[in-house]
Amino acid sequence: MLQYRPMEPAARPSQEPARSAQAPAPTATAAETAGLDFGQGRARAHVQGVSQSRLVRIERDILGKNDEHAARNRTWLEARGILALNLVSSPGAGKTSVLVRTLETVRERFSVAVIEGDQQTSFDADRIRATGVPALQINTGRGCHLDASMVEQAMVRLQPAVRSVLMIENVGNLVCPSAFDLGEAHKVVVLSVTEGEDKPLKYPDMFRAAGLMLLNKCDLLPYLRFDAERAIEYAHRVNPNIRVIRTSVSTGEGFGEWIGWIEGERARLDVRPSAEAGAATGR
């Protein structure tokens, strides 16, 4: 979100003597420290010329329609005992690399398929297919997230197997994907140690919505000023129930625990009779 200020006129040359190197720096004024917060209204958002009540109605309409598709997706997945995971992160956190290493490990244990979300290109889907796992690319254009209707259409194309795992890699964004249910069992947020440890506090909706956080690229910790314990504490401050696993694609750290978590969640699902599964889809 941009915060605009009017440009100030260029300062005239000062007639005062130069400050001493030991002179204290000027302190911020009360107006500067107060800042501007456009997330305080009922809609927790601001659009110029649109009232808060109107924004709330628009959001309810959009999310309500999305939730209808998400409920249908969830019924379809649960009827087949398919575990769907929605991987979310900011760009560059390493979602695709985590996914590739995961697939290389689990593809012999159980069936798995992938839905890839990006604004443009099929680069990530190509990387997934190179592991031998089927993947379908969704390009959202200017859209900043996947929605349940997109995933519904992708599942029709992919037809993931009964008792399989469906990995959904969302568009790199810690804002919009938090609000859009895709019918998944869990959101898994990937936070890289190359980012700030304060991300959970800056983007609380995403970490509040996630059931698991992968703290990724931990092999780089010796070279960075990143406080891993603080990042985890911030995540728990936002969501006391979020589970955290430290991972590294390079060294394999945490992948045993991560894959064990997937298998545990998969084991929780029961498959309904095939006739009921077919009826549940409406397709």
Spell out a b/e string for 219-255, using b for 16 or more CB atoms within 10 Å of the CB, else e. Answer: beeeeeebebeebbebbbebbeebbbbbbbbeeebbb
pLDDT at 252 over 60: yes
In 3D space, the residue among 187, 189, 245, 188 whose CA is nearest the CA of residue 218 turns out to be: 245
Cβ 146 vs Cβ 182: under 8 Å: yes
Q: How far apart, in whole angstroms, are the C-alpha atoms of residue 162 and residue 83?
A: 10
- What confidence tier does 81 reach under pLDDT thresholds 50, 70, 90? very high
Q: How far apart, in whole angstroms, are the C-alpha atoms of residue 134 and residue 114?
A: 6
Q: Mean pLDDT across the chain, nearest whole number?
A: 86
The pLDDT tens digits of the residues spanning 221-249 come to 999 999 999 999 999 999 999 999 999 99
Show Cβ contacts of residue 87 under 8 Å, excluding neighbours closer than 6 positions: 95, 98, 99, 167, 168, 169, 170, 188, 190
H or E segment at 118? strand 112-118
pTM across the whole model:
0.80
Q: How far apart, in whole angstroms, are the C-alpha atoms of residue 14 and residue 247?
A: 55
Percent over 90 (pLDDT), the chain: 71
pLDDT at 75 over 50: yes
Two tokens, residue 106: 């689990």
Which phi and psi (to 5°) does residue 46 adopt? -140, 130
Cα dihedral 14, 15, 17, 21 in deg (nearest 10):
0
The pLDDT tens digits of the residues spanning 139-173 come to 999 999 999 999 999 999 999 999 999 999 999 99
- Domains, the chain, with CATH or none: 60-281 (3.40.50.300)
pLDDT at 83 over 60: yes
Q: What is the DSSP letter of 92?
A: T
Q: What is the dihedral sign for C-alpha 120, 126, 131, 133?
A: positive
